[in-house]
Structure 1
Amino acid sequence: MGKVLVLGGTRYFGKRLVNLLLQEGVHEVTVATRGLTDAEFAGPVNRLVLDRSDESSLAKAAEAGPWDVIYDNICYSPNEAMAAVRAFEGRVGRYVLTSTLSVYGFVKSPLSEEDFNPYEYKWAAGERGEMEYGEAKRQAEAAFLQEASFPVAAMRIPIVLGPDDYTRRLHFHVERVMNGTPIGLPNPEAAMSFITSAETAAFLLWLGGSDLIGPVNASSDGELTISRMIAMIERETGKEARLLSEKEVEPENESPFGVPSSWVMDTSKAKAAGYEFDNVMDWMPDLIKQIAAGQA
């Protein structure tokens, strides 16, 4: 890829991406963050202090280029998208935006890229926090893909899990089963897609080096119902889960996987381009075991 800028690369899959780039040994990597986290990497990186919401700050990052590839893990509004479009015009060869399964809503399952078309979606200016998360990401995708003159790929991912998940979403379920704390779930039989932080980083690396543009779904192969995941936790911990409807438990015990219906991604586009995904059952049992043993 050459000269690479990572916006948001000091934790979780962003940090893993930086380390993968460094391991390849052929890229000049720059990490741009607010400068609040002093992350250590597997090799030398350049660092920029960046306020993602400040267009003048983005312009300074652009001036440090031109960039062969930019990875943007921290864009959360159409205003931030348009600021990047203006700042990096003529200064980037390829732009990879981290997006989300949440752009689809609960319309059907499985969900393919065509189920939300950002090229035709009417977008309007707005700041972070002025709209809910899924709409903000829809608007950001639309702004980039309609307004940027440079190539843009939008990686859409489901819930990301791993031992380094600072949101501790799978930890939530394991810990509550172990402690006998009730878990609120509206539909335990809903199937979901998941992906690991490691594979998210690997996919980003691959996507940056590919020629795919537009939205691209990425998730581990295989659907997993929440009830099956809970059963796996029960087997590992030797405890029985207390599953209740969300109305029967306190808000703090409502599951972060509490979806009303199945929410599964179709990854045919990425597979047709040559990417092979892990299967969810290749890693989920081991991750549950790690968390239960207090090793994650």
Structure 2
Amino acid sequence: MKKILVIGGTRFFGKKLVEQCIAKGHQVTIITRGHTEQPFKQQVEHIIVDRTDQQALKQAVVNRDFDVVYDNICYSPNEAQQFCEIFNGHIGKLVFTSTMSTYEMDGIEKTEEDFNPYDYPIQFGDTADFSYGEGKRLAEAVLYKEATFPVATVRFPIVMGLDDYTRRLHFHIEHVLQQKPMGFSNMEAEMSFITADEAATFLLFIGLSNLEGPYNATANGTVSLQALITLVEEATGQHAKISLLGDSTSRSPYAISQSWYMSNAKATKAGFEFTQLSQWLPQLIQAMTREIRLHKD
């Protein structure tokens, strides 16, 4: 049994990670701001604190030690530095949730070597000072420089699931059902995806292993935006209305200009077996379509 701390564990794949930790018999503590009700009741210890408040976070975990910490809500180099100041000497390992956005969108399959956090120049600042991708790049760089504990960073593509609070896949189904136009820039662009369940399973896998460093975690295979929209059309029985780019209300959350996907070869070699995107994406779109129709009625 491990003592596990999950920072951000009440929504989406963070919630699923906590569920898997509990199911495996680990002692779980979660830290959230308390804005989302936690469904685990007495199965976890729940610490309510804003992780951006360094003094409050430090006080909340003073004299506490954890075997594994998962940080799902660190978005800036300042937050990463504060994490090291608080937890150095008190944890066995950190698993930091990073992103495919650390990689340039250039149409080439991305491997971990395409972004090296170990020699990335550090510039400090808060979340508002950087783009999402740059904030994550700098956070990785700070962690690998200043942490005295082992660090594994997991770079996810867009994570999919019925309970995705960002509703990015929902957007496309709803627009087709409502016959609203969607804006794209390159329908032939290919993307990587992973389910929330698989993301959680990989986080648990890497946290309990001796693996360190950056790892891409994505389902096997890619899908073009044209093929994805075709799956939506098949599930809804309606034709999509596609426009060029569109405005802020009609532009697809997946409106990328070039293919943007990555290799999971490193994680596969380490022993993790990923699912096939082509096997679950059609079923997810169909299930999401049924759910949206049910709520509409």
Give CA-to-partner distance per residue, 1:207-258, whole Å, 9 cap, x none.
1011111111001111100100101111111111111111xx3321100001
Check conservation: 2:98, 2:154, Cα contact below 8 A: yes
After TM superposition, the structure 1 = structure 2 runs for residues 37-186 of structure 1, keeping only pairs within 5 Å, are: 37-41=36-40, 44-63=43-62, 65-186=64-185
Check conservation: 1:19, 1:43, Cα contact below 8 A: no
- The verdict on how the C-alpha distance between 1:122 and 1:292 changes in structure 2, with shifts beyond 3 A counting, is same
Distance 1:113 1:149 in 2: 22
After TM superposition, the structure 1 = structure 2 runs for residues 203-222 of structure 1, keeping only pairs within 5 Å, are: 203-222=202-221
Give CA-to-partner distance per residue, 1:97-139, whole Å, 9 cap, x none.
0000000121342100000000010011101111111100000
RMSD: 1.3
| Helix, strand or coil at the partner of 1:211 | coil
| Helix, strand or coil at the partner of 1:173 | helix
Question: Percent of pairs identical after alignment?
Answer: 45
Name the stretch that deviates more: 103-112 or 132-141: 103-112
| Helix, strand or coil at the partner of 1:243 | strand
Structure-2 residue corresponding to 1:260: 257
Name the stretch that deviates more: 118-127 or 107-116: 107-116
Distance 2:81 2:146 in 1: 8
Q: Is 1:18 aligned with 2:18?
A: yes
Structure 2, unpaired ranges of 5+: none
**Structure 1 residue 51: Cα displacement:** 1.4
**Structure 1 residue 286: Cα displacement:** 1.0
Check conservation: 1:23, 1:42, Cα contact below 8 A: no
**Structure 1 residue 267: Cα displacement:** 0.6
Distance 2:39 2:257 in 1: 40
Check conservation: 2:106, 2:259, Cα contact below 8 A: no
Q: Is 1:292 aligned with 2:262?
A: no
Distance 1:237 1:286 in 2: 12
Give CA-to-partner distance per residue, 1:125-159, whole Å, 9 cap, x none.
10111111110000000000111111000000000
- The verdict on how the C-alpha distance between 1:275 and 1:73 changes in structure 2, with shifts beyond 3 A counting, is same
Distance 2:187 2:209 in 1: 37
Distance 1:60 1:87 in 2: 9
Structure-2 residue corresponding to 1:7: 7
Name the stretch that deviates more: 235-244 or 94-103: 235-244
- The verdict on how the C-alpha distance between 1:43 and 1:190 changes in structure 2, with shifts beyond 3 A counting, is farther
1:212 partner amino acid:
L
Distance 2:40 2:173 in 1: 30
Structure-2 residue corresponding to 1:276: 273
**Structure 1 residue 56: Cα displacement:** 1.4
Distance 2:231 2:240 in 1: 11
**Structure 1 residue 167: Cα displacement:** 0.9
**Structure 1 residue 30: Cα displacement:** 0.2
Check conservation: 1:22, 1:42, Cα contact below 8 A: no
Name the stretch that deviates more: 171-180 or 34-43: 34-43
Give CA-to-partner distance per residue, 1:156-194, whole Å, 9 cap, x none.
000011001011111100111111111100001000000
**Structure 1 residue 50: Cα displacement:** 1.8
After TM superposition, the structure 1 = structure 2 runs for residues 191-202 of structure 1, keeping only pairs within 5 Å, are: 191-202=190-201
| Helix, strand or coil at the partner of 2:43 | coil
1:138 partner amino acid:
R
Distance 1:275 1:61 in 2: 34
- State the aligned residue count: 293
Distance 1:171 1:258 in 2: 15
| Helix, strand or coil at the partner of 1:183 | strand
Give CA-to-partner distance per residue, 1:80-111, whole Å, 9 cap, x none.
00000010010000000000000012134210
Distance 2:264 2:37 in 1: 35
